[in-house]
């Protein structure tokens, strides 16, 4: 089925992992500066947002920092990482862009947060650091853009409440609401193009069961105590701090479900009009591999039910999303895959912005963040929505861990009459890092 919508979206067929692997030498600017587009002169220094970057690994440097460097109203003043080599590479990237040697490189994020000339920070650390650093940044008076997800339900709620109290600008680093394919799917569903929504099917990649490793000496380039931070102590192993490895370890992340799931499940929540709430029932099964570094399920099947009767099934094995209604279906296969529907008419359905039941396609999360820092308006992806999305995934992991159906109250953010499940909404944090 060749449609205008499918042809228009063909240029977006690129995997998220391919983006992450692009070198700085080959990454093209994702957003062209305004003066290149003829939209005006470069903003005066007083009109630029002074930024610091905490966590400058593959995503922090190759995607977030590199994108902000091409936005004229951002000015990168400082970078920070626990790896000395990453600090050096990030500083060199910034200095090369600006033609000077002014970028400051910090080994401790607390020193960056203490810098009074930094207006906002972008956090691209492992997941277990997202909320602690975000909260410290907010307390230091900074606006924050931070990668998804949270580590627990309780810490996400505390973060959302702090953002509200501080009246700060907070952006979850999640691009999906600015991706045309996922915006169109949500728009069609919310506006009734497939009738009454009945079922959502989400496919996510399977995780990788990396083999266990023996402890080795910590590399001199790394402050491992600071990398661990609030997570439980574990001896250093060769690949523990590598992105695809720590993602599968419960101490630092929620596995593939909270990584890839954040993308597809956000579209599911938005299409269902549930981005400010969540499901009411959840059950699932997952396979945690033996003799592996992975302590989270690498294969899983989870079933959710929402208060409006919509059922959602989430399975590992491949990226896809599909919405089924009383009058048809829409969906796609693969990351940013071409749009498909039960009827070609659906793919050509358009809505006037004033009449649509969803917001217009917003700019990318980086552009939107800067705009909101200046306007003080809510971002495309605020902390409250991030909490709701992360919670959907956390309750799924909890259901798999306990091996039984759970009843969830999205207003109270608690499991009904289930002390064991409610205890898993939070975790004890280690304090040793504060003296590291």
Domains of the chain: 4-176 (3.40.50.720), 179-359+383-435 (3.30.360.10)
Q: Can you give the C-alpha Rg of the chain in angstroms? A: 21
pLDDT for position 433: 86
Token pair for residue 68?
């902000």
Nearest-CA neighbor of 294 among 240, 219, 235? 240
CB atoms under 10 Å from CB of 111, counted, come to: 13
Segment 232-271, tens digit of pLDDT: 999 999 999 999 999 999 999 999 999 999 999 999 999 9
Contacts with 265 (C-beta within 8 Å, 6 or more apart), sequence order: 202, 314, 389, 392, 393
pLDDT for position 434: 85
Tell me how far apart the alpha carbons of residues 87 and 192 are, in angstroms, rounded to a whole number: 49
- DSSP strands (E only) in 239-305: 281-287, 299-305
Segment 91-100, tens digit of pLDDT: 999 999 999 9
Nearest-CA neighbor of 307 among 264, 274, 268, 276? 274
Q: How far is CA 72 from CA 54, 137, 147, 263, in A?
A: 20, 23, 22, 28
In the chain, which residues have pLDDT < 50?
1-40
pLDDT for position 46: 65
pTM of the model: 0.90
Strand partners, 120: 51, 143
Residue 77 in 3-state DSSP? strand
Nearest-CA neighbor of 9 among 212, 158, 184? 184
């Amino acid at each position: 089925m060749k449609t205008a919508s499918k042809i228009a979206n063909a240029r977006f067929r690129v995997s998220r992992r391919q983006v992450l692997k692009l070198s700085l030498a080959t990454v093209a600017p994702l957003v062209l500066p305004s003066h290149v587009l003829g939209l005006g002169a470069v903003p005066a220094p007083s009109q630029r947002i002074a930024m610091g970057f905490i966590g400058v690994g593959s995503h922090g440097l190759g995607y977030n920092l590199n994108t902000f460097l091409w936005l004229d109203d951002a000015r990168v003043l400082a970078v920070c990482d626990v790896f000395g080599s990453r600090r050096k590479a990030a500083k060199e990237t910034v200095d090369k862009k600006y033609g000077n040697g002014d970028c400051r490189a910090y080994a401790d994020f607390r020193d960056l947060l203490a810098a009074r000339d930094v207006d906002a920070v972008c956090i691209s650390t492992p997941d277990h650091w997202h909320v602690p650093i975000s909260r410290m940044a907010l307390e230091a008076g900074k606006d924050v853009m931070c990668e998804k997800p949270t580590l627990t339900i309780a810490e996400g709620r505390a973060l959302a409440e702090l953002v509200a109290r501080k009246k700060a600008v907070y952006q979850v680093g999640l691009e999906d609401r600015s991706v045309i394919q996922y915006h169109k799917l949500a728009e069609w569903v919310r506006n009734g193009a497939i009738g009454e929504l009945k079922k959502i099917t989400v496919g996510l990649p399977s995780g990788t069961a990396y083999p266990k490793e023996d402890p080795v000496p910590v590399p001199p380039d790394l402050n491992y105590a600071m990398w661990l931070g609030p997570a439980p102590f574990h001896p250093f192993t060769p690949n523990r701090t590598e992105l695809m490895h720590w993602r599968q370890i419960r101490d630092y992340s929620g596995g593939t479900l909270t990584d890839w799931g954040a993308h597809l499940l956000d579209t599911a929540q938005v299409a269902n009009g549930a981005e400010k709430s969540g499901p009411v029932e959840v059950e699932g099964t997952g396979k945690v591999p033996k003799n592996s570094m992975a302590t989270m399920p690498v294969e899983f099947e989870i079933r959710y039910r929402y208060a409006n009767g919509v059922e959602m099934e989430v399975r590992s094995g491949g990226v896809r999303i599909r919405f089924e209604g009383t009058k048809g279906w829409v969906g796609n296969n693969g990351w940013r895959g071409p749009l498909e529907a039960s009827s070609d008419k659906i793919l050509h359905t358009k809505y006037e912005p004033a009449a649509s039941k969803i917001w217009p396609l917003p700019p990318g999360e980086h552009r939107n963040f800067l705009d909101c820092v200046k306007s003080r308006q809510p971002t495309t992806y605020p902390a409250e929505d991030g909490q709701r999305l992360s919670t959907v995934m956390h309750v799924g992991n909890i259901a798999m861990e306990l091996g039984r159906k759970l009843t969830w109250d999205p207003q109270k953010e608690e499991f009904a009459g289930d002390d064991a499940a409610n205890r898993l909404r939070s975790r004890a944090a280690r304090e040793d890092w504060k003296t590291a």
